[in-house]
Structure 1
Amino acid sequence: MRYPAYILTTFAGWVNQIISAGSKGLPEEKAHKIRTVNSICLITALLAVSIGYFFYLYSGENGILIPAIFEGALFLGIIVLNKNKKYEAASLGVMLAHCLCALYFAAILGKIINISLILVFIFGISFLVYRKRWQRITGITAAILTLIALEVNYYYNIVPPLQLAEEFQYLLRWVALPCFLLFDALVLGYFVQDIRENKILLNQVSMLIFKTSHEMRNNLASNSILIDLLNAEIKDNPEYEKLKHYVEQLSTINSGMRNIVTNVLNMGEIENGSASGIHPETFELRAFIDGIIKIQQIKAESRKLDIQLAYDEALPVYIESDPLQLNIAITNLISNAVKYGREETPVLVRLSGINNNRSLEISVANQCPDIPQEKIKLLFNKFMTAKHNKRIEGSGLGLYIVRSIMDQFEGTYHVTSQNGLTTFTISFPLVAGQSPETAAPQQAIHQLAGLNLSFAEDDLMQNKLLSSLLQSFGCAITSSIDGRQLLEKLESNPTLPDCIILDDNMHALSGPETLRALKSDVRFKHIPVIMITGKGGPTEHWTELGARGVIRKPYDRFTLLQQLSQHLQSQTLA
């Protein structure tokens, strides 16, 4: 019983060696193409010889057998070319061999079989096997010339067909037809396999990009915190004033990198249909836009540009909108204007209310070469840029992200470019807000000073930076690297903290799991818990679990200070 299995295993090994001939040691894409060519040639050779011999036994016609054997040898020779690393010759040979064989058998068999079906296969090979443009053009041209030759011979009988018995004609037709369909199915199968493999590869690359971008955003957020701590040191120690310029430059570079990474992550959310949506907050509009311009101004100065703000004083002081998404949109517009603007010219940012302040219009204008109309129509598409200089770097994602954000805001976006002036404009519904009761920085620090805070953060750099920030607020801190360690420290420490801060994404015991454990324990359930998360989306589920508030990453020193104060000010802490 083992002998047939041994034969099958040995035969399968031989077949695999033939199919893999010449592909060893090559990059996977090229090796896959060679295996595809070898597979097609092996199948063609086996079918040609076996079917030719079958019909020879039935009819005794050497005009079918000899060409069939020659065809089989021809296709096996193409495999030998691949084995000897003659890849270009082999890839062209498989096309020409099929064309020549199609011509011959169409000529000798005439109307018996529909040889033109094999041309579908030949067209498929042109796109399946070939990657270079000239190769594909050659393949398609060969297929078209073969079709023309077949039609000419069909109408004029230049090569007279074999005279075969009627019953043999029917047999030949019904054997040949499934073979031709098999070739067409073979090409289709390879296309489907390529699409599936490319889709898997694309998903893997996308996951790698987004995971890498997420890690980069965490590190850039850490840089932001370090920059804030450096600024605080410079403010408290005048002797460090000379470092201020370098810290500002570092802040600008960090901000630019954060913008790129944020665009990549936002694109991933949009493509996956998991965009975080709009989460309105109340904030001061003028201070908000001034903060964005301040960061971009440093980069503008390096290109001898000046960002000017035209602000409509009739606008409400406070508005309700999503500051994170709006920051991304405006930053992309200003960053593009600075990047493409002509040196020693102004960049004008204009904020105005339209339709009786029912909508907010924000425009960003710069002086640069006019953008052609055909490009303007495509600028808000993914990976599109208006580069007029190859040295200008750009991913082509910024305006695509702006468009997506405006779609979520139910707003509009457009661009005009003429007479050397290009203006990008966005507008969206304007909702006035009430002045929030936020503490001033010194008042907020006074509220937090002396508090005993425990937190869990499994990223070691973020852990150290959060410790430094909280200590700079005058807090006594106890840090843990995950939720399990935090619970263990609570169990062993007789003094309970005034507040607990949890990162939501930790390996040993996640933020939500730790929060549930805290709220289910009568000893700890009264301690206010604040979650820190890098995820978008609503925060209601956190409050439903018992969290006092949520702080989103990336945060800076001022944001952390204000939000901690805001979340804890309603609680009288011992």
Structure 2
Amino acid sequence: MMNPTTSKKTNIFLRISETFKSYLRTGVEKATTPEEKRNIYNINLLNIVTSTLILTIGFGYYTIAPKIYLIIPVIVEGILFGLIPLINKFGTVRLANNITYYLHCICACYFGCILGIVIEIQLLIAFFIMAALTSLFTQEPTDRIIYIACSIATLIAMEINYYYNIIPALDLTRDQSFIFRWAAMFGILTLIIMVFRLYDKRTTESHQKLTLADEAKTEFVRTISHEIRVPLNSILQVSTILEREVKNNPELEHLHPFIKTLYSSAFLTKGIVNNVLSLAAIEEGKLHTIDNREFNLKRTLGNVIDMNHNATSAKRVTIKLQYDENMPSVILGDELKITQVFNNILINAIKYTQPKTSIKVNVEQTEHQWILSICDKGPGMTPEQVAAIEREQSFNTTASDLKIEGTGLGLFIATKLINLLNGNYKIVSSPGSGTTFIIDFPLNIPASNPATDEKSAITLNLYGYRTLVVEDDPLSTMLLKYFLGSLGADVYTASNTSEGIMSANKYKPHIILVDGCLPKVGDGENTIRAIRSNPAFEKTMIIGVPGNAFEPDINSLLTAGANACCPKPISHRDLEQILYAFTENYQEA
């Protein structure tokens, strides 16, 4: 059983502890943000610790050198520092911070003068400057400048007093000087360590907040990307299917302009979504590495022009591609990024050029470079807008005569990719004279240096091929089934991993399309991994269909065993290219 006296002492200590904690939080209730609360608490803590150090060390000094002009300032200073938290409660936080700093400077100046060279008071001044720079007292730039100026003025005042002996220093013995010196050093170092700890704690908290904010942003972009791509996937596929049906049925020709508009809008939205993802990757410092491979440049540029056919038709704009006959068709480079660059600039040119005009695309060769130029007949750009692009900043653009507004995001992404590809660009533009975007890239020619790599248009025939679509979205499943069926394939469907594996074992498909975002996390990977682990599907073409174009999601499906990926919204052109390459190799095998 606890002794009543011990219990009473414990209660007293608890009350003292609670009172001390409550006093530390004086004025915190006035704060409106966690940052303000933390700053008020830190200043209160600093003042109470300073008050304790001054009174403790000051009375220690008095026992060694009992001078009235030493102990009275110690008591006054100790009390003032101890009462500053009340200013946080009844006054303003800024006032409390200012009084704290100026009081430190006044006391440092006084004791620096009367103690002379016994104490390296310069250390305390260094502490003041450090505290100001680390924003311990304030984050107001003006206040910080004043604080640093006061610290320097204090240091100058002490040096002047030392030189002219305006205020005589204490006459101390060697032993007294030694004790004074080390006691003061202890107090000053305690304050410095305290500031470092508070600053380090705040920096750690800020870093954690930034990390959480970055993770939240990435998750937000992923979620929004997926949510947009799912309906966009259906719109793009429906418009593609309708366009094919209209071409094959003259009676539906009157619907062609509407379908073209639908496809163009969906394709433009896809580009915007991809640009948002690219911008997120740029901000995270995660631009993809360069993937240099052989590709047919002329055909790649032609494909981009074809992809924008509906947009040019709607404005009755003609794109003229002039390809230097000395320029090789097949080069080494990152086809995907070059496509992104050209597509973003071309979309911008189509968007702003005047109706019933032409856009000139020119490709020519120099000794070690190839040059791509895109010239439109739009309203042009102001020098400020050109400068913004060259500074790699996005900007707002307006073409009032065309009733068009934009953010310049596409050009911003393009310039980032140009730099990544070790290219350079120049913009020739002025208001009313159109814009010419000139880009030069390093010219790398394959060792074999083939003269041409032209192929005839793809004619994909899937008659005799069994395909399996593992997709949880019914509309996407229906559209893929219709598209693959129109190419002659026998199409089977499944909506989850277990159904997908069962159907694969039952029908032994030649081609399997697997959604990367099946109902459970990672089920797209698990489905591919399970199917690929069966030797019976060693030669089966597995195509991953991720819900977004994030590189980690694509790589995870490829690592699981997919032969290729076709992110949503699915481009039938891209899917046809993948299937065409498979059927050619499959027949050869």
TM-score greater than 0.5 by the shorter chain: yes
Q: Which moved more, 1:89-98 or 1:320-329?
A: 320-329
1:514 aligns with 2:514: no
My pick for the range that moved more, 201-210 or 561-570, is 561-570
Task: Give the distance between the partners of 1:95 and 1:565, measured in 2 at CA.
Answer: 75
The yes-or-no answer on 1:17 pairing with 2:32 is no
Aligned 1:163-562 pairs, distance under 5 A: 163-222=171-230, 223-233=232-242, 236=246, 237-238=252-253, 240-241=255-256, 243-244=258-259, 246-247=261-262, 250-251=265-266, 253-268=268-283, 271-272=285-286, 275-278=288-291, 280=293, 282-283=295-296, 284-291=299-306, 294=309, 309=320, 311-314=322-325, 315-317=327-329, 319=331, 321-334=333-346, 350-355=361-366, 359-364=369-374, 367-370=380-383, 379=390, 384-385=393-394, 394=407, 399=412, 402-404=415-417, 406-407=419-420, 409=421, 411-415=422-426, 423-431=437-445, 435=453, 440=458, 443-444=459-460, 447-448=461-462, 451-457=465-471, 464-474=475-485, 477-488=491-502, 490=504, 494-504=506-516, 507-521=520-534, 527-533=540-546, 534-536=549-551, 547-552=562-567, 555-562=570-577
- Asked if the contact 1:360–1:429 (Cα under 8 Å) also holds between the matched residues in 2, the reply is yes
Mapping of 1:50-129 within 5 angstroms?
Answer: 50-84=56-90, 86-127=92-133, 128-129=135-136
Give the match's secondary structure for 2:586.
coil
Which residue identity does 1:285 align to in structure 2? T
Please report the RMSD computed on the Cα atoms of aligned residues, expressed in angstroms: 4.3
Q: Residue type matched to 1:469 in 2?
A: L
* Greater Cα offset, 517-526 or 539-548: 539-548
- Shift, 1:513, TM fit: 3.6
Residue 390 of structure 2 aligns to a residue whose secondary structure is coil
1:359 maps to amino acid? Q
User: Does the residue aligned with 2:28 lie in a helix, a strand or coil?
Assistant: coil
Contact 2:341 2:418 in 1 (8 A): yes
Aligned partners of 1:150, 1:327: CA distance in 2, in Å? 68
Is the CA contact (8 Å cut-off) linking 1:518 and 1:525 kept in structure 2? no
| CA positional deviation for 1:53 | 2.2
SS state at 1:448 partner: coil
What's the counterpart of residue 132 of structure 1? 140
> How many residues align structurally?
550
Write the distance in 1 (CA, Å) between the matches of 2:356 and 2:149.
Answer: 54
Q: Please, which moves more after superposition, 514-523 or 32-41?
A: 514-523
Question: Residue 210 and residue 277 in structure 1: after superposition, are their counterparts in 2 closer, same or farther (change >3 A)?
Answer: farther
TM-score by length of 2: 0.78
Contact 1:21 1:82 in 2 (8 A): yes
Aligned partners of 1:23 and 1:349: how far apart in 2?
Answer: 66
Cα distance in 2 for partners of 1:350, 1:253 equals 20
Determine helix, strand or coil for the equivalent of 2:501. helix
Q: Which amino acid aligns with 2:295?
A: T
**CA shift at 1:480, angstroms?**
4.3
State the one-letter code of the partner of 1:77.
Answer: L
The letter for the 2-side match of 1:213 is: V
Q: Percent identity?
A: 18
SS at match of 2:442: strand
User: What CA distance in whole angstroms lies between the structure 2 residues aligned with 1:259 and 1:516?
Assistant: 28
Letter in 2 for 1:328: Q
Q: Tell me the distance in 2 between the aligned counterparts of 1:243 and 1:225.
A: 17
Q: Using a 3 Å threshold, how does the CA distance of structure 1 residues 449 and 156 change in structure 2: closer, same or farther? A: farther
Q: CA deviation at 1:14?
A: 4.5
Give the Å deviation of 1:86.
1.5
Q: What secondary structure sits across from 2:111 in the alignment? A: helix
Q: CA-to-partner distance for each residue in 1:487-525, whole Å, 9 max, x for gaps?
A: 25556xx44444322345654554444334224335655
Per-residue deviation at 1:159? 2.3
Deviation at 1:115? 1.2
Q: Which runs of 5+ in 2 are unaligned?
A: 247-251, 399-403
Q: Which amino acid aligns with 1:106?
A: G
What SS class does the counterpart of residue 383 from structure 2 fall into? coil
Give the partner amino acid of 1:21: T
1:487–1:418 Cα change, 3 Å: closer
- Structure 1: unaligned runs, 5 residues or longer: none
Q: Which stretch shows the higher mean deviation, 328-337 or 81-90?
A: 328-337
Give the Cα separation in 2 of the matches to 1:392 and 1:146. Answer: 57
1:326, CA displacement in angstroms? 1.3
- Cα distance, 1:336 vs structure 2: 6.5
Query: How far 1:173 sits from its partner (Å)?
Result: 0.8
- Which of the numbers 166, 169, 175 marks the counterpart of 1:158? 166
TM-fit CA distance, 1:82: 1.9
Q: Distance in 1 between matches of 2:294 and 2:12?
A: 73
Deviation at 1:322, TM superposition (A): 2.8
Partner Cα distance (1:298, 1:145) in 2:
73
| Cα distance in 1 for residues equivalent to 2:86 and 2:74 | 19
C-alpha displacement of 1:472: 2.6
Alpha carbons 2:54, 2:74 under 8 Å: kept? yes
Deviations 1:215-236 (A, max 9, x none): 3333444415513412432553
Indicate if the aligned counterparts of 2:512 and 2:543 stay in contact, CA closer than 8 A. yes
2:144 maps to amino acid:
R
Q: Is contact 1:220-1:257 (8 Å) kept?
A: no
Whole-Å separation in 2 of the counterparts to 1:100 and 1:143: 10
**Cα deviation digits, residues 89-136 of structure 1 (max 9, x gap):** 122222212112212211222221111211222222323132222222
What code does the residue aligned with 1:370 have?
A: P
Per the alignment, do residues 15 and 94 of structure 1 end up closer, same or farther by CA in structure 2, a change over 3 Å counting? same
Question: Residue 416 of structure 1 contacts residue 423 of structure 1 at CA under 8 Å; is this kept in 2?
Answer: yes
CA drift at 1:177: 1.3
Task: Return the offset for 1:344.
Answer: 9.3
Contact 1:276 1:536 in 2 (8 A): no
CA distance 1:426–1:560, shift in 2 (3 Å):
same
